[in-house]
Structures are given as C-alpha cells and as structure tokens.
C-alpha cells in the first residue's frame, strides 16, 4: 500500500527558512497535502498541490513536487516561533482517504 516518509525533526532559527521533506510511494496520488498540528489540536490543512504541478506558492509557503522522484517539500520563509508545530505530509489514497507520514516536528528558536 501507499507509504509516506518524513524526517522526524527540524530545528531552525527565527527568520530563517525551513524546508520539510517528504517521499511517497503511490504515483497515482492526485493531490498531496501539508497539514499542521499544534499541541492538543487537530490537524489544519496548510496547503496542497495537484500532481500535475511542480510548484505552488502561498504567501510564506512554497510547495515543490518532483513527481519522478515522488518527493514533496514544504518551504516556510521567514520562520516564526508561531510556526513551531508538527507538520504532516499526506497523499491521497486510492480509496479517497489520506495516507499520512509520521510528521516532522519543527522547532523554531528565537
């Protein structure tokens, strides 16, 4: 079945850019998603990209998709302490559900 892999931790300084990487196995995934989870809260959809796109930019967020390598990345420009959270990559499964990675914990140091 579909598998989604992410690095578990990332630490950056406030004002720097953060890049969170993800790989997935199912090349038929139509949409790929980035969710943010703050402590004690549910998941919040940050952004998504359609599989026929290479890049999508939304304010401070840039998503890059390399479909050949099945690699997805999320870049957060000018990272703030409020961006500290766990970021999940998710791929659309064949049954309409989402397959999530284990999440990358982003720590932003002042």
- Does the footprint of other proteins cover residue 95 (CB under 8 A)? yes
Which residue of 24, 88, 106, 108 would you call a contact of other proteins, by CB under 8 A?
A: 88
**Nearest CA-CA partner of 93 in 22, 29, 3, 39:** 29
In angstroms, the CA 47 to CA 61 distance is: 8
- Does the footprint of other proteins cover residue 9 (CB under 8 A)? no
Which residue of 72, 98, 106, 108 would you call a contact of other proteins, by CB under 8 A?
A: 98
- Does the footprint of other proteins cover residue 4 (CB under 8 A)? yes
Which residue of 41, 68, 69, 110 would you call a contact of other proteins, by CB under 8 A?
A: 41
Q: Which is nearer to other proteins, 43 or 64 (CB)?
A: 43
Chain CA centroid to CA 43, Å = 12
What residues numbered 59-78 form the site for other proteins, per CB under 8 A? Answer: none
Element (H, E) at 86: strand 85-92
* Contacts (Cβ under 8 Å, ≥6 apart) of 95: none
């Amino acid at each position: 079945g579909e598998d989604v892999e992410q690095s578990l931790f990332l630490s950056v300084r406030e004002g720097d850019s953060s890049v969170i990487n993800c790989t997935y196995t199912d090349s038929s995934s139509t949409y790929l998603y980035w969710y943010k989870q703050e402590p004690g809260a549910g998941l919040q959809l940050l952004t998504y990209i359609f599989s026929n796109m290479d890049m999508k930019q939304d304010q401070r967020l840039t998503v890059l998709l390399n479909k050949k390598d099945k690699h997805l990345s999320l870049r957060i420009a000018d990272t703030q302490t409020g961006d500290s959270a766990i970021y999940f990559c998710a791929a659309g499964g064949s049954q309409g559900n989402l397959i999530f990675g284990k999440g990358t914990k982003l720590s932003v140091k002042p």
